[in-house]
Amino acid sequence: MSPNHTTEQPHVPFALPDVGEDEAEAAAHAVRSGWVTSGPIMKEFEREFAEFLGGGVETVAVNSATAGLHLALEALGVGPGDEVIVPDWTFTATAEVVRYLDATPVIVDVDQTSLNINTESVAEAVTDNTKAIIPVHFAGLPVDLKALRASLGGRNVAIVEDAAHALPAVGSTGLVGNSRASDATVFSFYATKTITTGEGGMMSTDRADIAERARVMRLHGINRDAFDRYTSKKPSWAYDVVAPGFKYNLGDIAAAIGRVQLARACEMQVRRQSIAEYYLSELGDLPLQLPVQAGEGELHAWHLFVVRLPVGQQIRRKAFISKMAELGVSCSVHFIPLHCHTYWKQFVPDAAQRLPVSAAESERALSLPVFSKMTDSQVTQVVEAVRKVAEELV
């Protein structure tokens, strides 16, 4: 029995990876090559990714964005006693990497309109112990890095961009991932993200020290270059361990899929943008708050399309999502903010005072399906369902 057996409507899933024969062919080719772990294809993927971003950045392929964020903070020397500022409105991965290093996450509020990190809250939260900040380009809407830097008041705070939603996106400082305004940027290739390798991620940075440390730490802390310094002729079995590293490398099968996906990244963004623009034009008259578009000359990756129920109607979110499901459309919620989770509560006991925007806005937010594989009829079905449910409930 199909999950939507009660309706004759076809089902619109919340998200589907946009992978097909080309990705399958590339993966099969990698398998047939006989080299299935990190090797020449991973190197080629890194090279193409760096070329895609431009600006002379270095890239480090990893097996998840979570791994990439962890490596970036580790390379920056984040440790016990350090504070790292993160937005409340994000996935737990953004903050958990701070705890991996025994540092303290300082959870701050988001902006009412963009839902990105609030620069005034950042200015209030920054202290002498602030070592880094992790802005999230939420939904694919680029964070204004110039404004963010200004909010740090001239302090020496590293910026690590969580760009899990932002490939490709263009903000006030250019293409996300090649900005001189940050220290490192991390993308996700998780199944539902804008490009996928099944599981995977990529760090980009213009800081050679960060790239070098991340490359060593993504593979057990093994440093072959260090060994080279002491030997004129390195035997193939030789290696030196310089730190207790991690197992975060991306294999060639995943990288092969990634190369095909990267070549299609812009065309897939165009499709998502046209879906988002259609939603904006067809839902504009409803009493729902629709997401903002990117600024002039900027680009929104449109990984998510988040609508907000009218203030006072947040109690209807559950009903709204169930009614959409009855009409064959799967919606979701991004995110249940950090302060609502059992573990993160201890870091913001005063959430109501410190995070008023995130606390209020997150309860009335829900995400509509937007993925490049959506057909026109699926897009129309979403619009019709939203109109019907909004008429009934809102």
What is the token pair recorded at 373? 């594989």
- From CA 39, how far away is CA 68, in angstroms rounded? 18
Q: Which helix or strand (DSSP H or E) is residue 158 part of?
A: strand 158-162
Q: Is 193 a catalytic residue?
A: yes
Our CB check for ligand PLP shows the closer of 134 and 379 to be 134
Rounded to whole angstroms, how far apart are CA atoms 303 and 15?
10
Q: Could you give the CA distance from residue 340 to residue 342 in angstroms, rounded to a whole number?
A: 7
| Binding segment toward ligand PLP, per CB under 6 A, in 23-31, 81-89, 157-165, 377-385 | 157-165
Which range touches ligand PLP (CB under 6 A), out of 16-24, 161-169, 229-237, 344-352? 161-169
As given in the structure block, the two tokens for residue 345 are 């509560």
Among the listed ranges 48-56, 60-68, 104-112, 264-272, the one in contact with ligand PLP (CB under 6 A) is 60-68
> Given the complex with ligand PLP, which of 164 and 256 has the nearer CB atom?
164
Interface residue with ligand PLP, options 64, 114, 204, 223 (CB under 6 A): 64
Strands 184-188, 158-162: pairing is: parallel
Asked if residue 162 binds ligand PLP (CB under 6 A), the reply is yes
Per DSSP, what are the bridge partners of residue 60?
A: 203
Q: Of the listed pieces 19-27, 89-97, 115-123, 337-345, which binds ligand PLP according to CB under 6 A? A: 89-97
Measure CA 57 to chain center. Answer: 19
Number of residues that bind ligand PLP (CB under 6 A): 14
- Residue 90 Cβ, how far from ligand PLP at the closest point, in Å? 5
Asked if residue 394 lies in contact with residue 286, where contact means CB atoms within 8 angstroms, the answer is yes
Gyration radius of the chain over CA positions: 22
Q: Which two tokens mark 231?
A: 């030997």
Stretch that binds ligand PLP, among 85-93, 172-180, 229-237, 272-280 (CB under 6 A): 85-93
According to the binding rule CB under 6 A, does residue 314 interact with ligand PLP?
no
Closest CB to ligand PLP among residues 301, 386: 301
β-pairing verdict for 201-205 and 184-188: antiparallel
> What's at 115, amino acid-wise?
L
Phi, psi of 9 (to 5 degrees): -65, 140
Least gap, CB of 72 to ligand PLP (angstroms): 12
- What is the C-alpha to C-alpha distance for residues 368 and 290, in angstroms, rounded to an integer? 11
Give buried/exposed letters for 77-112 (b at 16+ CB in 10 A, else e): ebeeebbbbbbbbbbebbbbbbeebebbbbbbbbbe
Report the nearest approach of ligand PLP to the CB of residue 136 (Å): 5
Residue 141 beta carbon to ligand PLP: minimum distance, rounded to whole angstroms = 12
Answer yes or no whether residue 83 interacts with ligand PLP by CB under 6 A.
Answer: no
Using the contact rule CB under 6 A, the part of the chain among 59-67, 121-129, 257-265, 348-356 near ligand PLP is 59-67
Least distance from C-beta 97 to ligand PLP, angstroms?
9
Nearer to ligand PLP, 328 or 369 (CB): 369
201 binds ligand PLP (CB under 6 A): yes
In the set 43, 193, 233, 345, the catalytic residue is 193
- State in angstroms the smallest separation of the CB of 227 from ligand PLP: 31
Sign (positive/negative) of CA torsion 291, 295, 296, 299?
negative
Q: Is 94 a binder of ligand PLP (CB under 6 A)?
A: yes
Q: Quick one: 90 or 116, whose CB is closer to ligand PLP?
A: 90
Element (H, E) at 70: helix 65-75
Residues 174-193 that bind ligand PLP (CB under 6 A): 188, 190
Q: What angle do CA 127, 133, 138 make, to 5 degrees?
A: 135
Among 73, 103, 136, 368, binds ligand PLP (CB under 6 A): 136
Q: Is 289 helix (H, G, I), strand (E, B) or coil?
A: strand
Site membership for ligand PLP, residue 93 (CB under 6 A): yes
The 8-class DSSP code of residue 355 comes to: -
Asked if 91 interacts with ligand PLP (CB under 6 A), we say: yes
Q: Which residues are catalytic?
A: 193
Residues of this chain that interact with ligand PLP (CB under 6 A) are 64-66, 90-91, 93-94, 136, 162, 164-165, 188, 190, 201
